[in-house]
Amino acid sequence: MSTLHSLHHAAQALQLAGEKINPQYRPGYHIAAPANWINDPNGMIQFKGEYHVFYQHHPYDEHWGPMHWGHVKSTDLIHWQHCPIALAPGDECDRDGCFSGSAVDDDGVLTLVYTGHHYTDREKDLFTQNQNIAFSRDGIHFHKYEANPVIVEPPADSAHHFRDPKVWKHGDTWYMVLGNATQDGHGRVIRYHSSDLRQWTYDGILAESDGTLGFMWECPDFFELDGRHVLLISPQGIERTEDRYCNLFQTGYLIGDYDYETNNFQHGEFYELDHGHDFYAVQTLLDDQGRRIAIGWMDMWESDMPTKAHGWAGALTLPRVLNVDDQGRLLMNPVEETKLLRQEQFSLGESFTVTDSYSANITESLLEIRAVFDLNNSDADKVSLTLHSDASDQTVIMYDNVNEKLILDASQSGKPQDGIRTAPLAKAALLTLRIFVDRSSIEVFANDGQATLTSRIYPQGNGASMELTATGGQAQVQEWTCWSLRDIWQTATPHTDTTIA
Ligand code: FRU
């Protein structure tokens, strides 16, 4: 099939699938495809003043399959518009999939850099991978470079995992980091450089597992932030240890100092970036305000996804600003623009004491919640905020003052096998929670991004009440406010044009 034909075909399939969707759990303000499957965010960039986000997409059904690149764009990171599918697989260079990658602005040409996936034995999941580029002047219609692949194969000492190029410019040179593994199964990130995005030279290993960090590092991203260098990675195969590494795969970071000349990255230990059930394959862009903005896939490999029965699966997180704090840890906070979503404000209380519990009736399923506990003037062991969608169903966010942990309990959130997730969070005078609920997701940001928990939930009801609880003593609450949020997709216009520029 020609590229044009493949894109048309995919667009038609998607349109038909979109007509059959059950909207019950559809996100109101998160990025999701019009229908069917998505996973990783790809190609995040601000190009000619607009934010673009692409994503791994299977437009033909609700399961992962031959990967396409879906596409949305926005002027404010909040109001997204669907664009035509940008890349379809099936060419010589990407026969079995256009896997994850990034985007750069090459002097007015939006250039996508992505992995071509080729099965050598599909049954046994044996494959080869290469790196490719595709171009667009209008930011909507892409054509693949005729001399793809630009990197044919991994370095000689490498395993067959060779994917997810992240490209950026430093000085006059383009750099690429790739997810990779050694032949004896240690995850690592390798670096290439180029002067024209077409000819690439291998520079060596940028970082590598010491044997404790998994067999493959997916979706690397590498950048300077607040005077340090940050390597984001999504390792596969780290063993679970108590509260750490509870999901099948993790996304986290290494922070350190980097020398471009020698490709030497001196870094500290690996930390998980978000401790919820559903956060993976994060990628970032640098915008014209100098913000490093991260978006992750808001699901997890091999987890049950109840919305498959509704004709779709997968969403992306809210855009989040990253910073490095003075302890050398990453902070992650929703972009300021999330305030554009706010509609009605509910002031639920100010300066009050919770002796047992304190509740409010809220029947919204798109919500932002802000709760500030004055822990210096509380003697409770635990404080919590519970969201009830009906009598039998609840999602609990709890802070354990004694063990200094933030806990998300999703065991009664429509998917009992999920259970709890825990993030370490040092006790401070105030516990400030900022929580975003969007029909089937919850994102918790605590103490200005020191801890985040992102999970999919599947409430049975439509939103009934919220409650603050104190156990083992009483809690002083400084403020409790929430806002109903708008559904950006109800007013969005679809973009179905699939012509090639
Ligand atoms: C990460 C990942 C990438 C790959 C893509 C395939 O979730 O496995 O390594 O490029 O998904 O869809």
Contacts of 418 by beta carbon, 8 Å cutoff, 6+ apart: 277, 303, 410, 411, 455
Cα(337) to centroid(ligand 1), Å? 29
Please give the pLDDT value at position 363.
85
| Beta strand pairing call for 36-47 and 312-313 | parallel
Does ligand 1 lie within 6 Å of residue 62's CB atom? no
Name the residue of 36, 37, 38, 40 whose CB sits within 8 Å of the most ligand 1 atoms, as the mutation to test its pocket. Answer: 40
Q: What is the pLDDT of residues 353-401, one digit of tens each?
A: 999 899 999 888 999 999 999 999 999 999 999 999 887 899 999 999 9
**What is the spatial order of strands in the sheet that 36-47 belongs to?**
81-82, 68-74, 50-58, 36-47, 312-313
Residue nearest to atom 6 of ligand 1 (CA): 99
Ligand 1 centroid distance, CA of 136 (Å): 23
- DSSP line for 230-287: EEEEEEE-PPPBTTBS-SSB--EEEEEEEETTTTEEEE---EES--SSS-EEEEEEE-
Under-50 pLDDT residues of the chain = 495-501
Those residues with Cβ within 8 angstroms of residue 475's Cβ, 6 or more apart along the chain or in another chain: 353, 354, 373, 378, 380, 383, 468
Query: Which single residue is written with the structure tokens 């809220």?
Result: 362
Q: Is the CB of 131 under 6 A from ligand 1?
A: no
The residues that are catalytic are 40
Give distance in angstroms: CA of 419 to centre of ligand 1: 26
CA distances from 226 to 126, 242, 256, 324, 450 (A): 41, 32, 11, 6, 16
> pLDDT value at position 392?
84
Query: According to the model, what pLDDT value does residue 417 have?
Result: 87
Q: How many CB atoms lie within 10 A of CB 462?
A: 12
Mutate which of 38, 55, 56, 297 for ligand 1? The one with the most ligand atoms within 8 Å of its CB, which is: 56
Question: Is residue 40 within 6 Å of ligand 1 at its C-beta?
Answer: yes
Token couple for 98: 């256009």
Residue-wise pLDDT for 56-104, tens only, equals 999 999 999 999 999 999 999 999 999 999 999 999 999 999 999 999 9
pLDDT for 496 equals: 46
Please tell me the distance between residue 218's alpha carbon and the centre of ligand 1 in angstroms: 7
pLDDT, tens digit, for every residue of 254-264? 999 999 999 99
The identity of residue 301, as a single letter, is W
Q: What is the pLDDT of residues 400-428, one digit of tens each?
A: 999 999 999 999 999 888 899 999 999 99
